[in-house]
Structure 1
Amino acid sequence: MKTDLSTFTGEGSPEFTAKVKYLVWLLFSNVFFLTNIPYPNVLKVTILRFFGATIGHHVVIKPWVKIKFPWKLTLGNYVWLGEEAWLDNLSEIKLGNHVCLSQGALLITGNHDFKKSSFDLITKGIDIEDGVWIGAKSTVSGGVKLGSHSVLTMGSFTSKDLAPYTINQGNPAQVVKHREIN
């Protein structure tokens, strides 16, 4: 057998009304999020809520943050989304309270089944508990839970759950020490 992308069905693709909603979102996203214009956070939060996101209080959204589907996004209180963070949420992404997603971090919920010739789409959500810090240019793949107050250091990658209060580094990320907060 060989990969045959002509057999990809696109199963799970959004229906027409969802496509229209997504096109409208893209317009708002390009104007208010994918820009250097420092729009106030309250405006960005209001727009995300209008499009179905669940968002807590005191959320900071820096310029150039890319969010695929706001209606599949939950942000707790005091969440920081750094410049050029990308939430590629084909499935639900949930960030707890006091979570910091640093510059250029990538949360990606979609992948493909390379064992099938049709290369089927696989999506799995991401659950990030309270107090987690995801370092700059780090990547978290779908189906992962980051435990309370865990850290994924700069430039690291995880496709596995991270235990609470651990500092994780590398590709794949490994525990390098336990996090102590004074």
Structure 2
Amino acid sequence: MSEPLDAAKSRPVSGGPSFSFVNRAERALWRAVWFLLGRAVPPPFGHHWRRFLLRAFGARMGTGSVVYASATIWLPRNLSMAERATLGPGAECYNIAPVTLGPGAIVSQRAFLCTGSHDYEDPHFQLTARPIVLDANCWIAAEAFVGPGVEVCEGAVLAARGCAVSNLPAWTVWGGNPARQIAERTSPDQSSINRATD
């Protein structure tokens, strides 16, 4: 139901829809509910209330997961957030395809998680979608961009305004557009080893 329509038939470049009527109606209802009921309640109670609203629309929300009022979620049932995962203020979750946040994953202010793109070789500009996975304890910093099909592995960091279009290995730090590795990050396991050998 969230799959893009065949652009050759629906012709979105000429004003036709990219998604089914049912999908568009579901998203319209969700936007109204979020605007009227999700954005007005301040923290800390608001975090509990927003988890409830997201679950009511099909999202899988772990204990202590946090979605700020100004975050935008395209389709709740394509969102899965483990315990302590966070979507920060102004974060954009364009989840045509599933977006998964592992335990403790953080998406900071105005970062953009984008599962959608277009086939630029197709004369009808077909909309495509691939999932995004943010593994445990990774951090997407302010105004960074994560593209379709990307996995940000455990503990990896995408620096502010960085642009990730391919997978980021575990416990590494990336920045720039396109993102390049700029540092390594010490994993908790490695920290334990270092303390034991000091």
Same fold, TM-score > 0.5, yes or no: yes
Amino acid at match of 2:62: G
Q: 1:103 — aligned with what?
A: 109
Q: Deviations over 1:120-142 (max 9, x none)?
A: 10111101110100000000001
Whether 2:35 is the aligned partner of 1:27: answer no
SS at match of 2:24: helix
Give secondary structure in 2 for the equivalent of 1:27.
helix
Residue ranges of structure 2 left out of the alignment (5+ in a row): 1-11, 192-198
Return 68-77 or 38-47, whichever deviates more. 38-47
**Matches of 2:170 and 2:40, distance apart in 1:** 35
TM-score (ref. length: structure 2)? 0.82
Question: Which whole-Å deviations, capped at 9, do the CAs of 1:140-181 have from their partners, x for residues lacking one?
Answer: 001111110000001100110000000001101111111015
Structure 1: segments with no counterpart, 5+ residues: none
Q: How many residues align?
A: 175
Cα distance in 2 for residues equivalent to 1:50 and 1:79: 18
Percent identity for Structure 1 against Structure 2:
26
- Indicate the structure with greater helix content: 2
Higher relative contact order (CA 8 A, sep 6+): 1
What pairs up with 1:11-160 in 2 under 5 angstroms?
13-14=19-20, 16-33=21-38, 35=39, 37-38=41-42, 40-160=46-166
How far off its partner does 1:69 sit? 0.1
Q: Which has the larger radius of gyration?
A: 2
Task: Report SS of the residue matched to 2:33.
Answer: helix
Structure 2 CA distance for partners of 1:60 and 1:161, relative to 1, 3 Å: same
Q: Deviations over 1:44-69 (max 9, x none)?
A: 00000000001100012223100000
CA contact 1:36–1:64 (8 Å) conserved in 2: no
Tell me if structure 2 keeps the 8 A contact 1:165–1:180: yes
Q: TM-score, normalised by structure 1?
A: 0.89
How far residue 36 of structure 1 moved from its aligned partner, in angstroms, is: 6.1
